Amino acid sequence: MYTPYPSDRSREIGERVEAFVRNVVVPYENDPRCTSHGPAQALVQELRSRAREAGIMTPHILDDGTHLTQRETAAVLKRSGLSPLGPIAVNTMAPDEGNMFLLGKVATPEQKAKYLNRLVSGHARSAFFMTEPATEGGAGSDPSMLQTTAVRQDGHWVVNGRKMFITGADGAEVGIVMARSNTGEKIQATMFLVALPHPAIRIERVLDTIDSSMPGGHAQIAIDNLIVPDEDVLGQAHEGFRYAQVRLAPARLSHCMRWFGAAVRANEIATAYAVKRQAFGKALIDHEGVGFMLADNQIDLQQAALMIDWCADVLDAGSQATTESSMAKVAVSDALFRVADRCVQIMGGTGVSRDTVVEQVFREVRAFRVYDGPTEVHKWSLAKKIKRDAMQGATHG
């Protein structure tokens, strides 16, 4: 699929994941349990039961608890994304994939036993509580605007605040709550682990959004006097921003991997349509306007695949890849949106209908250009680094 497998084990896992998604998962795409707020829990459980039977549950985490490399993970997650239901079925979806990665890096053995194991087995889902309502001046792309507070009292923490666009909160069993915990002027944050549902964490509403692939949808949350014991602080207190960076770049890149697979599938469907559909005396693909769109799709997909693998290599070399993952997120999300848009255009009326998955892929990839940081925020961050590097270079010169 546009780049070779990096290892024999990634080939073996990737081929089994692809076969499972194409043969088992794809027929579920028209299941009535796929709702506007994501697949219902019963459908999630059924898909995961079938993935366990096939031996590919959480395929990027090996039996001994170690992870595939990021490059190997890319080969597997690209294939899990061939259906919007694929990552849900094999447990490579957001936010769980990123949360499992973070817990694996930071959690204590006791926390892993309590919170991580059920995530890895696919028996539980999770949510990451960071984004806050813009109407209240809360944190979005700028985490320093964090309004949710955590105050230490008598050997525990009391957390209060409101959160917004919290993916998968409805139905999650594990929560990671980000709260402002500083007592001085310097802004600090702490992450807290919470077993869900919890009476102090209330879902005010599940938003109607353009995308519909995430179980539980995206919720608005109120947190009222949540009591968290010290043993459920994730890592060290006041290190939440640093831990967010541990999670951020790999999770951002994983989005690129999964939606790459979806765009590949949309392009396959559009190509088959263009070859079969006749108009003005010949197949659509023989009309230059359509043929060139498919050529552009192939170019964009190849470039996106290479960008993903390049960033994965940087992560595998030990870097946090903050700059590289921003570059990859911008390039890949924009390229995949162009691909999905062309697929809709090629298929005309069929493309805007829900007779195929192309319409959903278009919606999901459009949302991806906002999620995990809008394109413009990443470009702004990159521009700041360009200026900083240029000024340092001028000083040294």
pLDDT in tens, 272-301: 999 999 999 999 999 999 999 999 999 999
Residue 56 pLDDT exceeds 80: yes
Question: In which residue are the tokens 């413009």 written?
Answer: 376
Task: Give the pairing of strands 174-180 and 126-129.
Answer: parallel
Which whole number is the average pLDDT over 141-153?
91
CA distance 275 to 97: 37
Which whole number is the average pLDDT over 380-395?
90
The pLDDT of residue 142 is: 85
For 250-287, b where at least 16 C-beta lie within 10 A, e where not — what string?
A: bbbbbbbbbbbbbbbbbbebbbebbeeeeeeeeebbee
Q: What is the per-residue pLDDT across 116-130, written as a single tens digit (0 to 9) for each?
A: 999 999 999 999 999
The pLDDT of residue 396 is: 67
Q: Say which amino acid occupies 3.
A: T
The pLDDT of residue 272 is: 98
pLDDT, averaged across the chain: 95
CA distance 85 to 252: 19
8-93 CATH, one of 3.40.50.2300, 1.10.540.10, 3.40.50.20, 2.102.10.10:
1.10.540.10
The pLDDT of residue 139 is: 84
Cα-trace Rg, the chain: 21
The pLDDT of residue 144 is: 84
Residue length of the chain: 397
pLDDT band at 61 (very low <50, low <70, confident <90, very high): very high
Q: What percent of the chain has pLDDT over 70?
A: 99
The pLDDT of residue 52 is: 97
Q: 126-238, which class in CATH?
A: mainly beta
The pLDDT of residue 79 is: 98
The pLDDT of residue 155 is: 87
Which whole number is the average pLDDT over 33-51?
97
CA of residue 125 relative to chain centroid, distance: 14
pLDDT band at 397 (very low <50, low <70, confident <90, very high): low
Give the residue among 135, 86, 99, 108 at the shortest CA–CA distance from 261.
86
Domain ranges of the chain: 8-93, 126-238, 241-396
Which whole number is the average pLDDT over 153-157?
92
The pLDDT of residue 109 is: 96
Distances (CA, A) of 33 to 38, 69, 177, 212, 265: 8, 34, 29, 12, 22
Judged by average pLDDT, the poorest of 60-64, 80-84, 244-248, 374-378 is 244-248
Q: What is the per-residue pLDDT across 318-332, written as a single tens digit (0 to 9) for each?
A: 999 999 999 999 999
The pLDDT of residue 185 is: 79
Residue 138 pLDDT exceeds 80: yes
Structure-block tokens of residue 208: 């109607």
Helix, strand or coil for residue 30? helix
Residue 1 pLDDT exceeds 70: no
Residue 253 pLDDT exceeds 90: yes
Helix axes 322-352, 358-368, angle to 10 degrees: 150
Q: What is the per-residue pLDDT across 336-347, written as a single tens digit (0 to 9) for each?
A: 999 999 999 999
CATH code of the domain occupying 241-396? 1.20.140.10
Residue 147 pLDDT exceeds 70: yes
Which whole number is the average pLDDT over 100-115?
96
Residue 314 has φ and ψ, to the nearest 5°, of -65, -45
- Dihedral angle sign, alpha carbons of residues 233, 234, 235, 239: negative
